Amino acid sequence: MKAWPPALLTPVAAADRKRGDGALVSEFIESLCVQVKDSIGGHAGEPIELRDWQRNLLDHIFARRSDGRLRHRIALVGMARKNGKSAIGSGIALYGLMMGPKGGEVYSCAADRDQARIVFGTARTMVEKSPELSAVTKVYRDAIEVPETGSVYRVLSSEAFTKEGLSPSLVLYDELHAAPNDELFNVMQLGQAARKDSMMLALTTAGVKYDSTGRDSTCFRLFQYGEQIAKKEISDDSFFMAWWKSVDESDHREEKNWIAANPGYGDINDPEDFVSAVKRTPEAEFRTKRMNLWVNAQEAWLPAGVWDSLDQSEVIDEQTPVIIGFDGSFSNDATAIVAVTVEDQPRIEVIDVWEKKQTDNDDWRVPMTEVDAVMMQTCARLNVVEIVCDPYRYQREMENWAANGLPVVEYSSSSPARMVPATAKFYDAVGALELSHDHNPTLARHIDNCVIKYDRLGPRIVKEHRGSPRKIDCAVAAVMAFDRATQVREQEPESVQPFFIT
């Protein structure tokens, strides 16, 4: 299968590649760096064996001009996940540490410290497994030092204001698409000024584009710039980009599109995993992680027709334990009470929904007395294990329910830490046909109204925009209740707190 060239490649003259350091970097990696874990690409402890496309990539990145200087100051390499980015990035970092200038400063950067430690951690393990490298280095938790040359390799987090005064000789920026802002990138780029042959190399997958200009994303802005160079619309020899991606963006289920975005397809990564993942991964996430395509910030949540195709559930009886999801509002949004059974195949049943109709006056408000009465009746009729509530605007009602002995727990639907995994869990269950529902038309409409918001915190359901008349409250209540129902069934640790009357 053809892995080189990638879909987008900025031009580099053959003479510059020939006089460059690519062959030296390849030799260094293959001679001194080892696999750190078992994978399709090799076994832990074995020497890294670079593929032809990786050698070509290194030849392009480390090209030199006729005056002997490195051609590129900034290099952006984009490919889908699980194509060996961490291994090759670690090898490059160690090359820059060992073979770079005396007093060199090599840095692993990322959106957060844990992400930055991935490349660094792989490099540290390579050093520990290499008698040659470990003999000339000192290894610390977040640094590797070469005492003889005074060079050091460190991990940096994204708090850019603490990084002024650095003079990097090589920067490895992992998953640049997740950078929350430009600060760290700009600080490291400006810090290169005192170095003759400094380079910043970003290894990343695609992410979310919030607008077409790229103003909101460092990575998307650089991608657009590299795309212009690759298409010869502009010229900038100091900038390099190699970007593997699906050429045909129309169908994410086609194997030819997976091959185009993954230079290690069938060699470094497993084709069977793609077949499995495409069935259970939200389309937008599959496009970014497996096809290396940029997606819009908001996408439709469930594929068209999949919700209606689920089985119609039987009416919930009084013995079956249930979780009640409650998402309340005052005037503009809907208020919903939804029950989800604690079973291997959960059933979803809408208890009631209050929503302003077109015929209602502008002063319409949610009938809170009626909501309260329905909740009390529901808990008297069904075997309610928990009532999961978003406390926003319903603090008084929650206090009243708790005072009457109802099992109320707080569950903030605005918390990404809670809603990102809950959204994914619900999506997976729908895709795997592992739940049924009462085919309530209001719930179906609210689910259709949901869009997925993608950002560095993860995908979660939201309204299409603030103030939108398209309601999603019934869907939110169902997701909340489903999340807790599965946790209760699997006896997972509590992720919500009981509601206490103050």
Write the DSSP string, 39-95. Answer: BTTB-TTSBP---HHHHHHHHHHT-B-TTSSBS-SEEEEE--SSSSHHHHHHHHHHH
Mean pLDDT in residue range 37-54:
85
Check pLDDT > 60 for residue 497.
Answer: no
Cα–Cα separations (whole angstroms), residue 54 to 81, 103, 232, 418: 15, 28, 24, 39
Q: Please tell me the least confidently modeled range out of 97-106, 244-253, 426-435.
A: 244-253
At 2 the pLDDT is: 80
Domain ranges of the chain: 8-296, 321-498
Strands 321-327, 383-389: parallel, antiparallel or unpaired by DSSP?
parallel
Average pLDDT rounded to a whole number, residues 205-217:
71
Q: How confident is the model at residue 470 (pLDDT cuts 50, 70, 90)?
A: confident
Whether 493 shows a pLDDT value over 50: the answer reads no
Residue 116 has pLDDT above 60, yes or no: yes
CB 187 within 8 A of CB 105: no
Out of 322-326, 351-355, 468-472, pick the least confident: 468-472
Q: What is the pLDDT of residue 414?
A: 82
Per the model's pLDDT, the better-predicted residue between 99 and 159 turns out to be 99
CB atoms within 10 A of CB 77: 22
Three-class SS of 331-372 = CCCCEEEEEEECCCCCEEEEEEEECCCCCCCCCCCCCHHHHH
Q: Tell me how far apart the 2 most distant CA atoms of the chain are, in Å.
A: 84
Please state the rounded mean pLDDT for residues 4-18. Answer: 97
Average the pLDDT over 449-471 and give the result: 79
pLDDT class of 204 with cuts at 50, 70, 90: very high
pLDDT of residue 216: 66
Phi, psi (deg, nearest 5) at residue 241? -145, 135
Is 70 exceeded by the pLDDT of residue 501? no
Looking at residue 502, its pLDDT comes to 41
3-class DSSP state of 209: strand
pLDDT at 471: 87
| Lowest-pLDDT range of 14-28, 118-132, 404-418 | 404-418
Higher pLDDT, 274 or 165: 274
| Mean of pLDDT over the chain | 89
% the chain with pLDDT above 70: 92
Q: What is the pTM of this model?
A: 0.68
- Assigned CATH topology for domain 321-498: Nucleotidyltransferase; domain 5 (3.30.420)
| 491 pLDDT more than 90 | no
Residue type present at position 262: N
Q: In CATH, which of 3.40.50.300, 3.90.550.10, 3.10.20.600, 3.40.1350.10 is domain 8-296?
A: 3.40.50.300
pLDDT value, residue 225: 92
Tokens 């077949």 locate to 275
Task: Decide which of 55 and 500 is more confident.
Answer: 55
pLDDT at 467 > cutoff 70 = no
